[in-house]
Amino acid sequence: MTPDEIKKDLQTLIEETTAAIGGTEQTYIRFLQLLQKTGQLSVPTRLINGQMVFFKYKPTILKNTYYDRFPLVLITNVYRGGFDGVNVHFIDEKFRMFLFDAIMREIPTIKTSEEWKTRLMINYNTVLTKKKLRYFKPCYRRYRWKGTERRPVVVPFNLWEDMVASNTSRFVNARQTTVYLKSRRKILKGLP
């Protein structure tokens, strides 16, 4: 399949499987099937900084009152019990695309022989020190392995923009508009 055909299949998948409230179990399963069909399925046992992952999650400890059931995370730190990263679902589409564009401009990429395996040279300090990336603060989350109901799937680099632009989130214990409002307040106040 050509890259354009893959992107078209991804858009169809998202349109058919996301409900008005966001991603579903079917979204996750069909995404895996698409990656399998294109030879880009990667479910690593070890994650690396700079990868973008999509997975099903239910926290074991509810630190916040709400959480995203299907996070889309740009990994900034991997540790023994889990990983940290920027879950772009916590900000609305306008801020999300602005943040994504800034990340792609400001953070160097680590290219591989296969373009879809490309990742970013990123960590928490990198995003913290770049003023153009200030929108990341309400999106920064910690994920523990115990809470992952499905292993994180690496999102191929050539599909990042489409996944970021799509509505695959599913917030539990809060409406999407409430999450976006709280995140916008954090951005405006400059709070972590």
Residue 117 burial class via C-beta count within 10 angstroms: exposed 0-12, middle 13-18, buried 19 and up: middle
In this predicted structure, the answer to whether residue 128 has a pLDDT above a threshold of 70 is yes
Residue 63: pLDDT over 80: no
Taking 80 as the threshold, does the pLDDT of residue 1 lie above it?
Answer: no
Mean pLDDT for all residues in the chain:
86
* Residues with Cβ within 8 Å of residue 137, at least 6 apart in sequence: 186, 187, 190, 191, 192
Return the domain boundaries, the chain: 3-189
The angle subtended at Cα 189 by Cα 169 and Cα 178, nearest 5°, is 30
How much is the average pLDDT of 48-54? 94
Strand partners, 84: 77, 142
Indicate the pTM of the whole model.
0.87
